[in-house]
Structure 1
Amino acid sequence: MKIDNYAIADAPRLGVKGWGRWMWRQVTSMRVALILLLLLALASIPGSVLPQWPQNAANTRAFIEQNGWWGRFLDATGFLDVFGSAWFTAIYVLLFASLIGCILPRVRVYWRNLRSPVPPVPARLDRYENRDEAETADVAAAFESARSHLIRRPASSLLGWRVRVDERPSRQEGVETELALSANGEGLRELGNLIFHLSLVGILAAVAVGSLLTYRGQAIIVEGDSFTNSVVDYDSFSSGNLFRESSLEPFRLTLDELDAAFNVQGLAEDFTAHVTLQEPETDPVSTQIQVNRPLQVDGGKIYLQGNGYAPEITVVDSDGNVAFSDAVPYLPQDGVYTSTGVVKVPDVTSGEQLGFLATLLPTAADNGETLVSAHPDLANPMMLLRGYSGDLGLDTGIPQNVYVLDESQLSPMRDEAGNVWSVALVPGQTVELPDGLGTFTWNDTPRYGAFDLRADPSLPWLLAASIGALVGLALSLFAPRRRLWLVAPLTPAAGGETTVVRAAIMAPAHDAGAVDEMRRVLDAATGRVRRVEEE
């Protein structure tokens, strides 16, 4: 190819291998790693703002219905399951590859530095600020003493000094050869860098493995009831892609009693769940679970995350059959445990399905305008109840939130005067439902505990890698960086009986102990016959 009279060589083609190498270098650059880290943070924002399928399917479904095409678009593009979407996974994987690609080359560099030979003594020591001299009658013995002293003395490091002694031509007039001792005390710093970067790789690997193998489940257990560690018994359950349900340890947990202590003002003082743990091939064990004091089980820990009241309800339909009989957990709405609950009665032998909205007041009191709860304890319990009849919408196959009553196909019950039926109950009371729909009975009020089981097999490895990273970082920042040199002619000067040993040390300006270290080495080598002060 020619332009005017100048020839220009054709640029070589990169090819597949060349393009692959170029792309890998771009991905593993620190600039791209920082960009990917920023993208990951930005991509996480929709996961905390928008409803997500894994966390709350009912809210997510309602969000889609309320927002029309916009909701369907967000669902189709993965914004309603951000952390499981393909684009978030791509950013995550690229970030891991970039960080590992940035770290591993540095690991090789620090390993080579750690294993590299000790550099020889510089040709001139007079250019270094920290110098000293002493005389000795036996140069070879002095250098051997210095070497032994350095090897025994760790120089505040675990690796100690690395020492080499050479014979080299001398620049002094009348001296042919001289002994030169070079000691490198930077090994601990290099070891710290190596540990730090290897630990970073360990942290990334532990996080990746943990995200694939971890699982977490939440379950509500009423006093006297039991829970078996199986996916079907959890109220909500999430796990990594490589987790297998068959790996769950089939233990059984029974909530015997839940103690809740409140002071006079109604502030919580203590929550204790008295439980019985039955593990395979072992005897039942009675133990306790408290806030921030989880129960250790095989592969995970069980935390006490919450508690409340679960009134025992019995509903009899119009034919006199028991259509519902169970304890229903109510959700506390404030610090005095004003709790709301939903009772759904689909199994009515004749007539329409029944639904109830209830508010529990543990210590009911009249504030002059309405009934409120004055204390979390059951000092004066009262339940405010409102009933509905119709279709609960449970036959559509779409899961529903057990704490929400879908009123779209329900009609409120009405009394003889045509007003919306509502009633206040006390424990043990039975009320007749309007229009002969049956009866509603509040039997008792046990407590329930909300438990959270978390299992992550990578946590011990993550902890070890994190500690390693901190130790490595501390060593790389605070380990001394010193290089020490000794030089002396092999033979005494003409007409003299002693030989001058010159010493110098190189260290950062903030290392106040470097000069003392040099002088200790010089004293050990020569016995310090005399010291020549610096001019």
Structure 2
Amino acid sequence: MAAPELNFRELARWTWRQLCSMRTALVLLLMLALAAIPGSVIPQENVDAFAVGKWQDEHPKLTPIYEWLGLFSVFESVWFAAIYILLAISLVGCILPRCKVYWKAMRAAPPKAPSNLLRMPNSTSYSTTAPADEVLAEAKRVLRKRHYRVIERDGAISAERGYLREAGNLLFHLSILIVLAGFAMGSLLGYKGGVIVVNGSGFSNNLSQYDDFVPGALMGVEDMEPFSFTLKDFDIEWLMSGPRKGMAQHFVAHLDYTEEPGGEEKSYDLRVNHPLSIGGTDIFLIGHGYAPSITVRDGEGNVTYKGPVIFLPEEQATFRSFGVVKAPNAEPEGIGLEGYFYPTFALIEGNPASIFGDDRNPRLSMLAYTGDLGLGAGESQSVYVLDKSRMTQLTKDDGSMFRVDLYRGETVDLPDGAGSVTFEGVEPWVRVQISKTPGKLIALGGVILALIGLLGSLFIRPRRVWVRVRREEIDGAEQGIVEVAVLDRSSAGETGDEIVEIVAALRGSAEPATSGLEDEEDRT
């Protein structure tokens, strides 16, 4: 006979029970962990938009698929949010019923003693001449001293402890909710942005100053701290020996900052993992590079561009960097340059390369173009990309490729009287990440509570103890037989020592029990 079909109410109830099961919560937690992996492996738009663009240029076939899946902004994607919300609902559905059951268990008395204690796996007995009332009174005192909840019922003692083990389990699951709430609060009310600051220049905390900015859904401009800072200097220590020779070991950005307009100017040495905190905003040092100072003159001798140009490192070991220079107002045509900066230039088997990250022998090597740079009204373009679709590459008189190859302090004239380029010098730049995450302390508190709950659930042993005294005639004399049983409810603890210590305390001796006890211990 086929089972009847579920109506809408029954189907909804079944779905809710499945969602709120611990098995589903664990599966969703695993899915959330797996879903976070692409966000760590694939470049993210809200972290490094330039790296995303570079990855897309290198993988043109995969880019449409990744964009459709939202892999370039994993943590803002619909599917990640769905897992996040389902996990929160599942945890709430798991915790609330268990809290109700735990509340009843906390108020309930220890269960009454089984009819035959000696049939239990961990049990023993011994004889005594003391009255039953004295034995039971002593059992109460001993067990309470060992932090048991004790009750006397039907001539036997029932005791239980370890109620906080379940509290630890509940606290652990509740802490996951707290962590999720902290992250959600940070995503909704906070913001995160990045900016590259050249040595000697400054930054004010307003939207127009950011290179990239990701606001929370409920974040307002009034939530931004009105601070500003200036990069006064940037120091780098390079390893000069060993297997990591040439690598940057230690770098510090020296900042002068004010917390509000017209406020007191303060100084701070910004280092990796040592952010500057202003109010609820943190400023992190996350990268550095070089900005060659370049002067471009047009065919009429007018300066159409002058200043440092940010070049982005392509090789972290040697800091070979790529950059673009744009002079759209040059006459008669706009001038564009793109190419590489080599901090310590050298020819290796005839190929240009940088052999060291420090700017000991800086050299520029760039291609030159003239024409429309595509920066007209209504057109937007990345400062790190040169649109060459409407431009012409400059060549030598013989038609061969022309390159702007310059050491520091040198000038080269462009072909056809287009102008000249001068390499004035080099300035360092730093990339800082500025973020405000209101829920970070809540998330941290959740992590601490999770650790406390986990420790409680691992090390607290819920146990039950029963003590009963019965009278028997032994060798013509009536004596009391004290029966003691211990039950470990965690199925992971040894109760042999516990029962020996309880019996020893009841008999008023620190020594192990007599032969009668040892015989019974063979079953424990």
TM-score, normalization by structure 2: 0.83
Deviation at residue 221 of structure 1 after TM alignment: 0.9
- 131-140 vs 431-440, which moves further: 131-140
Which residue number in structure 1 is paired with residue 254 of structure 2?
Answer: 274
1:98 equivalent to 2:90? Answer yes
Which residue number in structure 1 is paired with residue 341 of structure 2?
Answer: 360
State the distance in 1 between where 2:234 and 2:124 align: 74
State the distance in 2 between where 1:146 and 1:49 align: 62
Q: 1:301 aligns with which of 275, 282, 287?
A: 282
Deviations 1:380-408 (A, max 9, x none): 22222321111212236454332222211
Q: 1:45 to 1:394 in 2, by over 3 A?
A: farther
Deviation at residue 100 of structure 1 after TM alignment: 2.7
State the distance in 1 between where 2:298 and 2:181 align: 58
Structure 1 residue matching 2:113: 3-state secondary structure: coil
Supply the AA of the counterpart residue of 2:139: A
Which residue number in structure 2 is paired with residue 256 of structure 1?
Answer: 232
Contact 1:114–1:191 under 8 Å retained in 2? no
Deviation at residue 77 of structure 1 after TM alignment: 7.7
State the distance in 2 between where 1:514 and 1:474 align: 21
Structure 1 residue matching 2:118: 3-state secondary structure: coil
Structure 2 residue matching 1:165: 3-state secondary structure: strand
Q: 1:67 to 1:503 in 2, by over 3 A?
A: closer
Q: 2:319 aligns with which of 337, 340, 345?
A: 337
1:533 equivalent to 2:516? Answer yes
Deviations 1:203-223 (A, max 9, x none): 332233333233221111111
Q: 1:461 to 1:134 in 2, by over 3 A?
A: farther
Q: Give the RMSD, CA atoms, in angstroms.
A: 3.8
Which residue number in structure 2 is paired with residue 199 of structure 1?
Answer: 175
Contact 1:150–1:521 under 8 Å retained in 2? no
Listed as ranges, the matches of 1:101-500 within 5 Å are 101-128=93-120, 129-133=122-126, 135=128, 137-153=130-146, 160-166=147-153, 168=154, 179-264=155-240, 265-280=245-260, 282-334=263-315, 335-348=317-330, 350-395=331-376, 397-488=378-469, 499-500=480-481
State the distance in 2 between where 1:57 and 1:362 align: 21
State the distance in 2 between where 1:438 and 1:397 align: 28
Supply the AA of the counterpart residue of 1:523: R
Which residue number in structure 1 is paired with residue 497 of structure 2?
Answer: 513
State the distance in 1 between where 2:259 and 2:37 align: 41
Deviations 1:1-40 (A, max 9, x none): xxxxxxx9x979845x555434322332345546656766
State the distance in 2 between where 1:353 and 1:78 align: 38
Q: 1:393 to 1:322 in 2, by over 3 A?
A: same
State the distance in 1 between where 2:43 and 2:516 align: 76
Runs (5+) with no aligned partner, structure 1: 1-7, 154-159, 169-178
State the distance in 1 between where 2:6 and 2:171 align: 41
Supply the AA of the counterpart residue of 1:278: T
- 107-116 vs 73-82, which moves further: 73-82
Contact 2:117–2:123 under 8 Å retained in 1? no
- 445-454 vs 144-153, which moves further: 144-153
Deviation at residue 244 of structure 1 after TM alignment: 2.2
Contact 1:107–1:198 under 8 Å retained in 2? no
Supply the AA of the counterpart residue of 2:171: I
Q: 1:368 to 1:326 in 2, by over 3 A?
A: same
- 83-92 vs 400-409, which moves further: 83-92
Runs (5+) with no aligned partner, structure 2: 520-524
Q: 1:356 to 1:13 in 2, by over 3 A?
A: closer
State the distance in 1 between where 2:346 and 2:38 align: 43
State the distance in 2 between where 1:359 and 1:229 align: 31
Listed as ranges, the matches of 1:69-108 within 5 Å are 83-108=75-100
Q: 1:203 to 1:185 in 2, by over 3 A?
A: same
Structure 2 residue matching 1:533: 3-state secondary structure: helix
State the distance in 1 between where 2:470 and 2:118 align: 16
Structure 2 residue matching 1:408: 3-state secondary structure: coil
Supply the AA of the counterpart residue of 2:332: G
State the distance in 2 between where 1:431 and 1:455 align: 46
State the distance in 2 between where 1:268 and 1:62 align: 25
Deviation at residue 317 of structure 1 after TM alignment: 2.7
Deviations 1:313-334 (A, max 9, x none): 2223334433222211112222
Contact 1:52–1:80 under 8 Å retained in 2? yes
State the distance in 2 between where 1:368 and 1:262 align: 26
State the distance in 1 between where 2:67 and 2:248 align: 41
State the distance in 1 between where 2:183 and 2:473 align: 64
Contact 1:210–1:458 under 8 Å retained in 2? yes
Supply the AA of the counterpart residue of 1:125: L
State the distance in 1 between where 2:66 and 2:248 align: 42
Structure 1 residue matching 2:376: 3-state secondary structure: helix
Q: 1:220 to 1:242 in 2, by over 3 A?
A: same
Supply the AA of the counterpart residue of 1:308: G
Deviations 1:453-480 (A, max 9, x none): 2332222222222222222222222222
Structure 2 residue matching 1:340: 3-state secondary structure: strand
Contact 2:283–2:434 under 8 Å retained in 1? yes
Structure 1 residue matching 2:119: 3-state secondary structure: coil
State the distance in 2 between where 1:116 and 1:220 align: 63
Contact 2:142–2:502 under 8 Å retained in 1? no
Deviation at residue 447 of structure 1 after TM alignment: 0.6
- 28-37 vs 399-408, which moves further: 28-37
Deviation at residue 491 of structure 1 after TM alignment: 13
Q: 1:59 to 1:203 in 2, by over 3 A?
A: closer
State the distance in 2 between where 1:405 and 1:434 align: 20
Structure 1 residue matching 2:319: 3-state secondary structure: coil
State the distance in 2 between where 1:271 and 1:527 align: 64
State the distance in 2 between where 1:47 and 1:527 align: 60
Deviation at residue 486 of structure 1 after TM alignment: 1.8
Q: 1:506 to 1:428 in 2, by over 3 A?
A: same
Deviation at residue 532 of structure 1 after TM alignment: 6.8
Q: 1:467 to 1:287 in 2, by over 3 A?
A: same
Contact 1:336–1:375 under 8 Å retained in 2? yes
Deviations 1:60-105 (A, max 9, x none): 79969x979x987986786765544445433432333223323332
Structure 1 residue matching 2:103: 3-state secondary structure: helix
State the distance in 1 between where 2:473 and 2:174 align: 50
Contact 2:236–2:252 under 8 Å retained in 1? yes
Contact 2:43–2:55 under 8 Å retained in 1? no
Q: 1:471 to 1:523 in 2, by over 3 A?
A: farther
Contact 1:199–1:466 under 8 Å retained in 2? yes
Contact 2:127–2:479 under 8 Å retained in 1? no
